[in-house]
């Protein structure tokens, strides 16, 4: 089954007839549906078709937004000023549209106070509540505790 470049159906013809007709029109024969009965082929300029596909892919890539994951490290016994500095940096990342991973590493005897670390993390999330949501709540993994924050989508 052959389809012309303008979409008109030319009917069923042999492979050699289709190639000869395409050669006369200075076009290529492109098999669109090889598994159909009979197989469907189309006359087209293959180079132009390839160029248009590449252009569509470029446009799709251009409209993509890359979201990166930034990390902020806290400690269970962090001072107020240090906490505010980390909070300010974390808010900058979230406002830019990046996801934020907040982590705490427990050293030595700090392992006995994991609840203090959880409080610090939840306090951090609470201070960012206007621009971010908690994607994953604080989880303990050995000596580390992680939490992920995601920026709130704009309602446009």
Domain boundaries defined on the chain: 2-62, 69-151
Read off the pLDDT of residues 69-111 as tens digits, 9 standing for 90 and up: 999 999 999 999 999 999 999 999 999 889 999 999 999 898 8
Domain 2-62 has CATH 3.10.20.80: yes
Angstrom distance (rounded) from CA 63 to CA 35: 34
Distances (CA, A) of 16 to 5, 28, 34, 45: 18, 13, 16, 18
Averaged pLDDT score across all residues of the chain = 89
Closest CA to 39 of 85, 3, 92: 3
pLDDT at residue 154, as a whole number: 59
Domain 69-151 has CATH 3.30.470.20: no
**Global confidence as pTM:** 0.58
> Percent of the chain, pLDDT > 90?
46
- C-beta separation of 109 from 72 below 8 A: no
Read off the pLDDT of residues 48-76 as tens digits, 9 standing for 90 and up: 889 999 999 998 888 877 778 999 999 99
């Amino acid at each position: 089954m052959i389809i012309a470049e303008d979409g008109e159906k030319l009917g069923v013809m042999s492979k050699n007839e289709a190639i000869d007709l395409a050669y006369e029109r200075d076009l290529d024969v492109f098999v669109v549906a090889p598994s159909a009965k009979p197989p469907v082929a189309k006359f087209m300029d293959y180079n132009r078709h390839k160029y248009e596909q590449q252009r569509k892919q470029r446009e799709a890539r251009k409209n993509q937004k890359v979201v990166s994951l930034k990390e902020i490290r806290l400690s269970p016994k962090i001072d107020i000023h240090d906490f505010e500095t980390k909070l300010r940096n974390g808010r900058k990342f979230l406002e830019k549209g990046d996801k934020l991973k907040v982590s705490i590493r427990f050293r030595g005897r700090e392992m006995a106070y994991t609840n203090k670390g959880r409080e610090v993390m939840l306090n951090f999330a609470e201070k960012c509540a206007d621009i971010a949501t908690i994607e994953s709540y604080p989880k303990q993994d050995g000596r580390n505790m992680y939490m992920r924050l995601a920026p709130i989508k704009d309602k446009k």
